[in-house]
Amino acid sequence: MTFSIFGDKFTRYAGITRLMDDLNDGLRTPGAIMLGGGNPAQIPEMDDYFSGLLAEMLAQGKLTDALCNYDGPQGKNTLLQALAEMLREQFGWQITAQNIALTNGSQSAFFYLFNLFAGRFADGSRRRVLFPLAPEYIGYADAGLDEDLFVSAKPNIELLPEGMFKYHVDFDHLTVGDDIGLICVSRPTNPTGNVLTDEEIRRLDAIARQRGVPLLIDNAYGVPFPGIIFTDVTPLWNPNIILGMSLSKLGLPGSRCGIVVANEETISALSNMNGIISLSPGSVGPALALEMIQRGDLLRLSETVIRPFYHQRVEQTLALIRRYLPEERCLIHKPEGAIFLWLWFRDLPISTEVLYQRLKQRGVLMVPGHYFFPGLEQEWAHTHQCMRMNYMPKPELIEQGVQILAEEVERAHRED
């Protein structure tokens, strides 16, 4: 078969595809220790809550209603109104339902947005998406219709006590040329658990406005829901900011519901794209979210169940890692949010791609770091020294995985 240029590009076995494959295979392989993917944890209290909510909605006919009808291309009106009201009350943002569109997962929203603001333009110019702080989310890497759509910048690394470190935007070397059409950050960041400081976000916002390009903030893990953020930071929105949100990390990845908050022109563009590409976003996730907002459960559960669960789990996992891997062997990015730990094996004699292969052979799945530098143009050894792990499985399993990781790290040092 001969595929088109589009076909050739989008049928590649991309990093994100390998990750989803690993996730899928691992979920079906008994005994595998899944520290790789970004599936949210099964939190018993949330599982019970969703089961109960679904049963009630079924009994009331609301679930059947959602399943048996298309929503409009912008998404379920009643949810758009309820969300706008909630965000107005929560943060004082001046928004209405016309500032929100739903998509089939936020992943597809990023695909729309990258290709809306970057690529080839009618005047013959080309623009790219800037990630001002790499490492950045693996799922962005292949989401451009054009080759070389992304460019990213190396961070400053601040070394912290107790074998921790934190990345910062290197504003001294950040260049935002005329070829940049969009600036994008995930906050909290997948893969590192970093949360860009308020000051960093304010500076990026100022640069974006000065250059006349939107600032896209991927808030898939942030506040007000699912609230997986352990530091005190202020969410920012203004008409030049596009905020991506999602129901996935709340525990509903199968609902494929992404939420975009932006100025009306951008929202209208996204609605039209939805119409052409998928007619309308799926209706079940939005129906659940609406019900959760009306019952006052969305923010309550984020604050009282989801955040404490992940916070406790990350503290426990940090302690576990330190039991097996001393600071000389492994530095850890300060976990400020999201559902991952980012490990830096500064002196490892093998690349983390080789380490990944060795771990996989022993039934432990993690993700090697080099996937998380989309658009980084220069070679940088650091990209081959890092590894991302999640802390979703039960602590006993995480411990087994960390123990095997420590053995393989020692083995690599012994072989050197």
- Part of the chain binding ligand PLP (CB under 6 A), chosen from 101-109, 116-124, 327-335, 402-410: 101-109
Neighbours of 78 (CB within 10 A): 15
- Part of the chain binding ligand PLP (CB under 6 A), chosen from 94-102, 104-112, 234-242, 361-369: 104-112
Min dist. Cβ of residue 301 to ligand PLP (A) = 18
Beta bridge partners of 34: 365
Among residues 151 and 220, whose Cβ is nearest to ligand PLP?
Answer: 220
Min dist. Cβ of residue 87 to ligand PLP (A) = 18
Min dist. Cβ of residue 412 to ligand PLP (A) = 28
Q: Give yes or no for residue 226 binding ligand PLP (CB under 6 A).
A: no
Among residues 186 and 317, whose Cβ is nearest to ligand PLP?
Answer: 186
Q: Which residues 6+ apart lie within 8 Å of 27 measured at CB?
A: 34
Instruction: Choose which of 185, 220, 314, 387 interacts with ligand PLP (CB under 6 A).
Output: 220
Q: Give yes or no for residue 390 binding ligand PLP (CB under 6 A).
A: no
Q: Give yes or no for residue 192 binding ligand PLP (CB under 6 A).
A: no
Instruction: Choose which of 72, 119, 224, 253 interacts with ligand PLP (CB under 6 A).
Output: 253
Q: Which residues 6+ apart lie within 8 Å of 6 measured at CB?
A: 145
Q: What dihedral do alpha carbons 129, 135, 139, 143 form, nearest 10°? A: 20
Q: Give yes or no for residue 135 binding ligand PLP (CB under 6 A).
A: no
Size of the site for ligand PLP (CB under 6 A): 14
3-state secondary structure of 165: strand
Report the residue number whose CB is nearest to ligand PLP: 105
CA distance 171 to 150: 18
Instruction: Choose which of 111, 137, 225, 342 interacts with ligand PLP (CB under 6 A).
Output: 137
Q: Give yes or no for residue 99 binding ligand PLP (CB under 6 A).
A: no
| HSE-CB of 149 using CA atoms within 13 angstroms | 24
Give the C-alpha distances (Å, rounded to integers) separating 298 from 70, 82, 405.
24, 12, 37
Instruction: Choose which of 71, 200, 205, 218 interacts with ligand PLP (CB under 6 A).
Output: 218
Among residues 233 and 412, whose Cβ is nearest to ligand PLP?
Answer: 233
Q: What is the DSSP string of 298-347?
A: HHHHIIIIIHHHHHHHHHHHHHHHHHHS-TTT-EEE---BSSEEEEE-TT
CA distance 379 to 125: 27
Phi and psi, residue 344, nearest 5° = -120, 110
CA distance 151 to 171: 15
Q: Give yes or no for residue 222 binding ligand PLP (CB under 6 A).
A: no
Give the distance from CA 80 to its chain's centroid: 22
- Part of the chain binding ligand PLP (CB under 6 A), chosen from 51-59, 99-107, 321-329, 405-413: 99-107
Q: Give yes or no for residue 255 binding ligand PLP (CB under 6 A).
A: no
CA distance 46 to 253: 13
Among residues 106 and 302, whose Cβ is nearest to ligand PLP?
Answer: 106
Min dist. Cβ of residue 185 to ligand PLP (A) = 10
Applying CB under 6 A, the residues found at the interface with ligand PLP are 38, 105-107, 137, 139, 186, 190, 218, 220, 246, 248, 253, 258
